Structure 1
Amino acid sequence: MSSVFKNAALAAMSVSALATPTFAERGTQGDLKLFYWQAPTLLNPYLASGPKDSEPASLVLEPLARHDETGQMVPWLAEAIPTMDNGGMAADMRSITWRLKQGIKWSDGSNFTANDVVFTANYCLSADSGCQVSAKFTDVDKIEALDTHTVKISFSKPKPYPYAPFVGLEVPVLQAAQFADCMGANALNCSAQNLSPIGTGPYQITEFKPGDVVTYDINPFYRDAAKPGFANVTIKGGGDASGAARAVLETGEFDYAWNLQLDPQVLAGMKAAGRGTVVTDFGTAVERLQVNLTDPSADLNDIRSTHGGGAHPFLADPRVTKALSLAVDRDTLVAIAYGDTGRATCDVLAAPAIYASGANDDCLTQNLDRARALLDEAGWTDSDGDGIRDKDGVSLSLLFQTSVNPVRQTTQDLLKAWWAEIGVETELRAIAPSVFFGGDQSSPDTYQKFYADLEMFTNFFPGNDPEPYLNNWTCAAIPTPENGWAGMNVPRHCNPDYDALVAQLGNTVDLGERIEISKQLNNMLMQAGALIPLVHRGEVSAHAASLQGVRMNVWDSELWNIADWTRAK
């Protein structure tokens, strides 16, 4: 076995011990007010469409392990991270055994056991469940409770990186007793459970108004008798990033504001009021264009934006998507919309740095002439002189949608102008975040239904190994009507060669080889035109100057250590 990939765990990933913070006595810090302007709509991460739901859920639901603010994996509900050295990983890499901490209770006072972990895996893997993170359980063959506090996960093949299931905010443990009647197709009907899950975390939910506000009080059975310091937590949704930032940095009405994707000068002006601190860090988040490789025409009715409706009339041609990418001036976009919180990128796998490909960096320089030449080569010309290219009676016209957000609307305006210079017409659409990122299957406006040509958003992967992330663009991860529009392969990219290479990554031990395969997978997505990366985004939030203990985490939930937060007197 390669010394680079010692003990079948990434050499780049070490297991750290959490430093013991200085904290106040439990419940003595009063109320903590958080502003998540993209309002949560449910609190079950397995059905969630993104961090707006999974982060508020992380106060309640916990995984076996998570990643700290440095990206290092740390045990959470488990006693330790399983490795070959401690006997937790099998020598043939076909299984991993987690030993759970003793004495942990759910907030209803019942015991947390290995059966809850087994149930949760089966819950996500059950047919028609609508589980959004099934890629986390790729190659899981069986999961079993060896005793009340020992869980064994067996894989269908050697799994050099076995840390996707139950590591990070997206894959916490659900209480089997509460969700027993929510298996398979029933998962989406379990409103009470999905809106108010019972957890092991520092807080329990007292009230949840979807799309508006969540309130919490202390979990009376939380395992650390000295924590958390704050007696109550309120997470307020609604409004926009500007209002959230103002509520912390200028008026002081709130203690924390999440996801402040704002004009850097606007944010700096608010910070000057002196009431709060802006915190930022770069993780794996990339603002990208998702390219619909299928036909979104409304005339196709139930098969629109599916492979059953056929390929997109022009975006399925990589020459067209390459032209769109080369027309973008990423440096100007970063300077206008992001400042120091953004970096131009041509790769969807932009971090950790060892995985950055660099093979697609020609897009870092805007090249309108090359973009026009590619469209000429693909047969798109302006036959009637109206400034819009066409071919065979089809105009090169795009519907480009994203969520309501000032930075995203600025980006839309800039891209529309640049694309007009190469003969592409663009219609812009901005959708309320609660709808765009919502899980309402009846809505035509969710990012997973993708009833448009292009759409823009950011997501990230927790931790520092990209294998589970790259699984998101396999054929099996495509959202369809049949799977309840679950899955993160929003572009509908389907390439057997890509799937085979993902499988090869899952069998690869040597870190150097894993890096090269990951770069190849990134490059395949870029060359297929499935995604057009724009900006490697820093995560930006703000907190009150009096709030202590915040350790900004771009690898997991920003609220990962909320039990340690206190307020200076």
Structure 2
Amino acid sequence: MKLKSLLLAATAMGAMAPMAYADGHEGERGRDGEVRIIYWQAPSILNPYLSGGTKDIESSSLVIEPLGRYDPDGNPVPFLAQEIPTVGNGGVSEDLTSITWKLKEGLKWSDGTPVTSADVKFTAEYCMDPEGGCAQGAKFDGVTSVEALDDLTIKVTFDQPKPNPYGPFMGGQSPIIQAAQFADCMGARAPECTDANFGPIGTGPFVVTDFKPNDVITMVANENYREAGKPAFASVTFKGGGSAEASGRAVMETGEFDYAWNLQLAPDVIAKMAEGGKGVPVSAFGALVERLEMNLTNPSPDLPPETRATVAEPHPILSDGRVRKALSIAIDRELLVEVGYGDAGRPTCNLVPAPAIYASDNTECLTQDLDGARALLDEAGWTDTDGDGIRDKDGMKLSLLYQTSTNAVRQDFQALIKQSWSEIGVETELRNLDGSVFFGGDPGSPDTFQKFYADVEMYANVFDGTDPQAYLAAYRCGNEPKPDSQWQGENINRFCDPEYDALIDKLATTGDLEERGKIARKMNDMLTKESNTIVPLVDRGRVSGHAVTLGGVRLNVFDSELWNVADWYRKGE
């Protein structure tokens, strides 16, 4: 077993070399006035440890930063750290049980106080508090201690060799928060710290001046930002809400905004917008998968929240794998791509479609099979006894509530999938929720994707970097959102399989890249084609748009899209 190969590969990719992306554009900080960003899913919080929503992770990345990030090619690059630790540079121990990070000297928080290893240590304690329900808990899987060796040095120790030690403090999902600001926000108190969660003190290029949840954020340049002359913009207006279409028009047709995120629109619509001449679309493929999530628990409102959060009360319909598979193979994925994404989408049966070493040879779902779906439902005992076109069993109709966020493409998908399911005798109720609510982290809301108070839900997310270990570890038994975790947690399906958990542990100790690929592919298959707990639909290319006058943009599908906003600047007309 080649335990060090992954770490040596990181060195070979140039992980140690800091990278600059200023395009040669230099000058005074704030010289280019205002930049206007629009996300059609509005941020509801600026603390990614309390929300798994992409819009919250990305908006907060303007303010709080990790030790290292991933560049547009998937290479790890240092941000707050001096370099990316590897076996080659001595930052990762020979036995792979620890990683030691060194902060850059002279770093300051936006309030002018020094950034130290104590802040990094505190960040780990904050997320690892069992009562806090950290949304990024899988990033700290296997961590036994985080030590501040001196003011600039942090040592993370794992319970076993960790060939991929870049979980904690790496990527937009795991930034450093200020210990002084969040000191009284540990555990169950975490959601109560509104001032900190809405206006974190950070090291990033901008500082929050006002945050209206689910609406607009205003920011100004961080005068204590570590690089002279950056950011080029004096202020940011970050608008949330509306629709992908309105966002695209606001950049490419009217020029009202400079950057529009995630233009989840039909390709002909985007092309028409681009004719407006004010902006251009940019795209890239990574590992972003639009998929259906199957609820393995009973979501009935007649049950208490604790019961609805666990498999103690199995789903009366979807706990049968034959039903889940029938729902999957009844879907025409080619049609979904044609209608929703064109060249910016590819049908997939995989939760992890890339990089290639982790992509399973899983193609069974690509061909729609209505007859096969009907046969599976017959076998499971669901038949139409009263001739109304809807199958039933033991007095219960095969009726499902299918929810997602409000978006034109997603509503098209819902309509097409509902039609396919009707052809196999399934009744489907559709519900769409505002993305700010659906992807928000409000523990009091019944409509978050974490609570999953529906039978089926649809969305897309992705993992930082190029290694899916933490992403797949999210489905460990016990990692489900529940009342005593403030409804945070990544295992929203409440999937639990001891064999799967054993593979999580095995992947964490395997360094040989080929063997890691083999294990990850098996885990992907257990979640998808073997259990159909997750039903992948489309491998989505990321499409966003920016003004023709906005320079420095490098679309990044391996980290936050706003990862290098400090390098953005205004080009001449």
Question: Normalization by structure 1: what TM-score?
Answer: 0.98
Could you tell me whether the CA contact under 8 Å between 1:130 and 1:188 is conserved in 2?
no
Amino acid at match of 1:512: E
Contact 1:380 1:389 (C-alpha < 8 Å) held by counterparts: yes
Contact 2:3 2:511 in 1 (8 A): no
Query: 1:369 is matched with which residue?
Result: 371
Counterpart in the other structure of 1:293: 296
Question: 1:392 — aligned with what?
Answer: 394
* Cα distance between partner residues in 2 of 1:207 and 1:242: 26
1:260 corresponds, among 236, 260, 263, to 263
Q: Which amino acid aligns with 1:424?
A: V
Which residue does 2:277 correspond to in 1? 274
Work out whether 1:164 is the aligned partner of 2:167. Answer: yes
8 Å CA contact 2:359–2:521 kept in 1: the answer is: yes
* CA shift digits 1:327-375 (9 cap, x unpaired): 111001100111111110001111112211023x111011111111111
1:137-152 matches, cutoff 5 A: 137-152=140-155
Which of 468, 471, 474 is the matching residue for 1:469? 471
**Distance in 1, Cα, partners of 2:47 & 2:473:** 21
| Aligned 8 A contact 1:42 1:194 in 2 | yes
CA drift of 1:301 comes to 3.1
In the TM superposition, residue 225 of structure 1 has moved relative to its aligned partner by: 1.3
Q: Give the Cα separation in 2 of the matches to 1:7 and 1:322.
A: 38
Q: Secondary structure at the match of 2:154?
A: strand
Q: Which letter does structure 1 place at the counterpart of 2:19?
A: L
* 1:546–1:568 contact (8 Å) kept in structure 2: yes
In 1: Cα distance, 2:7 partner to 2:241 partner: 46
* 2:550/2:568 contact within 8 Å kept: yes
Percent identity over paired residues: 56
Separation in 1, partners of 2:206, 2:215: 19
Where does residue 99 of structure 1 map in the other structure? 102
Matched, 1:442 2:463: no
Alignment partner of 1:77 is 2:80: yes
Q: State the distance in 1 between where 2:157 and 2:6 align.
A: 20
Residues 254-300 of structure 1 deviation map (CA, whole Å, 9 limit, x = unaligned):
00011111122111111111111001111111000010011111221
1:448 touches 1:486 (CA, 8 Å); kept in 2?
yes
1:61 and 2:56 correspond: no
Corresponding residue for 1:349? 352
- Bigger mean CA offset, 24-33 vs 104-113: 24-33
What corresponds to 2:232 in structure 1?
229
SS at match of 1:499: helix
Pick closer, same or farther for the CA change 1:14–1:311 going to 2, 3 Å: farther
Instruction: After TM superposition, give the deviation of residue 205 of structure 1 in Å.
Output: 0.9
Quick one: which amino acid aligns to residue 2 of structure 1? K
Report 1:113-262 matches (<5 A): 113-262=116-265
Deviation at 1:306, TM superposition (A): 2.5
Contact map agreement 1:10 1:511 (CA 8 A) in 2? no
Deviations 1:51-76 (A, max 9, x none): 11111111110100000111110011
Q: Tell whether the 8 Å contact from 1:8 to 1:509 is kept in structure 2 after alignment.
A: no
Cα drift, residue 130 of structure 1: 2.5
Instruction: Give the Cα–Cα distance (whole angstroms) in 1 for the partners of residues 128 and 67 of structure 2.
Output: 18
Match of 1:48 among 48, 51, 63: 51
Matched position secondary structure for 2:372: helix
- Paired amino acid for 1:388: I
Q: Is the 8 A contact 1:8 1:93 kept in 2?
A: no
Matched residues in 1 for 2:531 and 2:96: separation?
A: 33
Q: Structure 2 CA distance, aligned partners of 1:355 and 1:319? A: 26
Q: Give a deviation string over 1:105-127, Cα, whole Å, max 9, x none.
A: 11111101111100100011112
- Structure 1's 10 and 85: CA in aligned 2 closer, same or farther, altered over 3 A? closer
CA RMSD in angstroms comes to 1.4
- In structure 2, the residue matched to 1:458 is 460
Q: Secondary structure at the match of 2:361?
A: coil
Instruction: Choose the corresponding residue for 1:332, options 317, 331, 335.
Output: 335
Which residue is equivalent to 1:32? Answer: 35
Gap regions ≥5 residues in structure 1: none
Checking the alignment, whether the CA contact within 8 Å between 1:297 and 1:304 is kept in structure 2 is no
SS of residue paired to 1:477: coil
Deviations 1:450-497 (A, max 9, x none): 111000000000100110000111112211122111111111101111
* 1:146–1:152 contact (8 Å) kept in structure 2: yes
**3-state SS, counterpart of residue 542 of structure 1:** strand
Q: Is the 8 A contact 2:6 2:513 kept in 1?
A: no
Report the AA paired with residue 131 of structure 1. Answer: C
Distance 2:12 2:391 in 1: 48
Which residue is 1:548 aligned to?
551
CA deviation map 1:114-158 (0-9, x unaligned)? 111001000111121121001100010000111100000011111
Match of 1:313 among 316, 336, 342: 316
- Matched residue, 1:2: 2
The count of aligned residue pairs is 568
Contact 1:36 1:257 survives alignment (8 Å): yes
Within 5 A, what are the aligned runs for 1:511-522?
A: 511-522=513-524
1:4–1:512: 8 Å Cα contact kept in structure 2? no
Residues 174 and 58 of structure 1: CA distance in aligned 2, closer, same or farther (over 3 Å)? same
Amino acid at match of 2:498: P
The answer to whether 1:417 aligns with 2:413 is no
**TM-score between the two structures when normalised by the length of structure 2:** 0.97
Structure 1 contact 300–309 (Cα < 8 Å) conserved: no
Provide the rounded CA distance (Å) in 1 between the counterparts of 2:137 and 2:68: 18
CA distance in 2, matches of 1:131, 1:299: 28
Contact 2:133 2:481 in 1 (8 A): no
SS of corresponding position for 2:175: coil
Distance, in Å, in 2 between the alignment partners of 1:160 and 1:301 is 41
C-alpha distance in 1, partners of 2:13/2:298? Answer: 41
Distance (Å, rounded) in 1 between the aligned partners of 2:559 and 2:392: 45
Q: Which runs of no fewer than 5 residues in structure 2 stay unpaired?
A: none
For residues 538 and 308 of structure 1, do their structure 2 counterparts lie closer, same or farther at Cα, with a shift above 3 Å needed?
closer
